Structure 1
Amino acid sequence: MCGFKMRLSARLYCSVTKRIGELTKQYANLPERYIERATEHVEWKTPNRINYLPRTVKKPAREFRFTTNRPWSDEFRRQNEGTKREPVFIEPIKEWMIYRGDRVEVLVGRDRGKHGIVSQVIQERNWVIVAGLNTHFRRMGVKKDYPGMIVKSEAPLLVTSQVALVDPSDNKTTKVEWRFTEDGERVRVSLRTGRIVPIPHSAEETMDYKSRKTYSDADKDTPASVVEAITYEPKLKTFESEIMEELGIQEDRIPKRTFWY
């Protein structure tokens, strides 16, 4: 029974941590193919030559330890290099309720009972970072002839048990759930007051723009009108058959009979 629980926990961990959170990718505003390529963590790969079979050894996703650094950054890669780190089991969250810009109340630590604004969301570890709260001091840059400097930084908090969302109508903590309005809009609703808890505008912010409306197209950006005009209808035909159909070419030749022994 214990072994079954361990295998179940391992599968649960792999199913949760092998992919990057949607809010993390949304904030990065990077193509999906770039994120997959940057987070592969290839340990060994055969040379690209004719006399070598294509073989690649990748680091399993269950061996990654997600941190406050972005999964495609060099800091994240350096933290996961070298010795094998023990996996961290997390509680899967089906519906994410807290976004960047939300006001939350800290439930643990020295700042218990204080309200703050969420500055960063890390879905891979069920973490949020509250600006100015739950801080700690670190000494950095220590050398033989230099004592280093003290840096103050915020430590992450678990959304499951260490923070609570604040209802903006009365500034008290509440639980929320997703509901639909009469217009079909999906909104967060407070279970205590029944009022709508709007998603902050800063949740739409990415590394490239504050909001979609204020973003101006660059030289290499494809206009939305061109993207919408491109349509593709899948067909059960080969590429050659589609070309022949477009050019009006009719195949009237009868292939010879072939025999396989």
Structure 2
Amino acid sequence: MRLTSFLLSKANKKLGDVSKKFANFPDEYIARSMEQLHWRTPRAPQYSDKTIERKKFRFTTNRPWTAQFYQQNMPGTIRKKVFVEPIPPEQWMYFRGDRVEVLVGKDKGKQGIVNQVIQERNWVIVEGLNTHLRAVGADKTFPGILIQSEAPLLVTNQVKLIDPVDLLSTEVEWRFTEEGERVRVSKRTGRIIPIPSLHEETKDYKSKSLYVVREKDTEAAVVSEITFKPKLATFEMEIMESMGIEEDRIPKKTYWY
């Protein structure tokens, strides 16, 4: 079957909202962790502002803010191209806590709970299913330890959501209720499949309402308050203005060649 696919290596380096939600990291921190600069012009008036940076990344189960992700995407590394069927963010159906049925492999027909979503690769990891053994800590003198690891599954053709009416797999689509709420609905029975509460959890809290604001946390009221007012002045000029200092010196003429 021919798919309108695109190269993952050419995908935007912005992560999917669903896959990064659990980490609860700011976008600025994620962008800084992924940044790999090859060359940047000096920050001086006589130079145009140009930056050459890496924009092609290979996403895996290792998240972009980890050292393992950097090792897999080190400068100069050449890896096999990966094709991913594009799924618009607004059409994404799978969330942490969903019950799904595995359609392939040794666990075909079994049901499990999604415990991780990797939206950039159309992957979900189902707890306890589609596992394999891998050796950890092996060297010349020690054979290593075998641990059971869960392999990712494609949401396009390897898993299906479970209908809460009869606990059977079903095709799902997004619809709107009479109140205007956007919900997932089973195509077979028309039953609404609610988004699990596990999707709202992060590493910092089980629920936003239960989170206790700490001493060094920035309160939401402060974040929403706009304190910066743009002005055609440098930092030094603003300091001089606030202190009532007037500049009466005449700068020397300069020439650029």
Which TM-score bucket, shorter chain as reference?
A: 0.7 to 0.9
Measure, in 2, the Cα distance between the counterparts of 1:54 and 1:16: 24
Q: Which has the higher helix share?
A: 1
> Given that residues 129 and 155 in structure 1 are in contact (C-alpha distance below 8 angstroms), is that contact kept between their aligned partners in structure 2?
yes
Higher relative contact order (CA 8 A, sep 6+): 2
Partner residue, 1:77? 70
By how many angstroms is 1:216 displaced?
A: 1.2
By how many angstroms is 1:223 displaced?
A: 2.5
Partner residue, 2:37? 42
Measure, in 2, the Cα distance between the counterparts of 1:60 and 1:32: 16
1:128 to 104, 124, 133: 124
> Given that residues 17 and 124 in structure 1 are in contact (C-alpha distance below 8 angstroms), is that contact kept between their aligned partners in structure 2?
no
By how many angstroms is 1:181 displaced?
A: 1.8
Structure 1's 16 and 54: CA in aligned 2 closer, same or farther, altered over 3 A?
closer
Measure, in 2, the Cα distance between the counterparts of 1:48 and 1:219: 37
> Given that residues 16 and 92 in structure 1 are in contact (C-alpha distance below 8 angstroms), is that contact kept between their aligned partners in structure 2?
no
Partner residue, 1:161? 157
Partner residue, 2:252? none
The letter of the residue matching 2:182 is: R
By how many angstroms is 1:221 displaced?
A: 2.2
Structure 1's 13 and 139: CA in aligned 2 closer, same or farther, altered over 3 A?
closer
Q: What is the percent sequence identity of the aligned residues?
A: 56
Measure, in 1, the Cα distance between the counterparts of 2:181 and 2:5: 36
Structure 1's 57 and 65: CA in aligned 2 closer, same or farther, altered over 3 A?
same
2:81 aligned with 1:87, yes or no?
yes
Which TM-score applies when normalising by structure 1?
0.77
Q: What does the per-residue CA deviation read over 1:57-107, in whole Å, with 9 as the maximum and x for residues that have no partner?
A: 31232xx21100101211100111252113311001121001000000000
By how many angstroms is 1:231 displaced?
A: 5.3
By how many angstroms is 1:226 displaced?
A: 3.9
The letter of the residue matching 2:22 is: Y
By how many angstroms is 1:51 displaced?
A: 10
Q: Would you identify which runs of 4 or more consecutive aligned residues in structure 1 move more than 6 Å?
A: 46-54
Partner residue, 1:152? 148
Q: 27-36 or 89-98: which moved more?
A: 27-36
2:200 aligned with 1:204, yes or no?
yes
What is the Cα-based RMSD across aligned positions, in Å? 3.0
Q: Secondary structure at the match of 1:78?
A: helix
By how many angstroms is 1:49 displaced?
A: 8.8
Q: What does the per-residue CA deviation read over 1:125-183, in whole Å, with 9 as the maximum and x for residues that have no partner?
A: 00000010000001121122211110110000000000010012210111111122222
Measure, in 1, the Cα distance between the counterparts of 2:24 and 2:186: 30
Q: Secondary structure at the match of 1:177?
A: strand
> Given that residues 142 and 148 in structure 1 are in contact (C-alpha distance below 8 angstroms), is that contact kept between their aligned partners in structure 2?
yes
2:187 to 187, 191, 209: 191
Which TM-score applies when normalising by structure 2?
0.79
Q: 216-225 or 93-102: which moved more?
A: 216-225
5+ unaligned residues in a row in structure 1: which ranges? 1-7, 244-261
1:21 to 16, 38, 41: 16
> Given that residues 5 and 85 in structure 2 are in contact (C-alpha distance below 8 angstroms), is that contact kept between their aligned partners in structure 1?
no
Structure 1's 146 and 51: CA in aligned 2 closer, same or farther, altered over 3 A?
farther
The letter of the residue matching 1:39 is: M
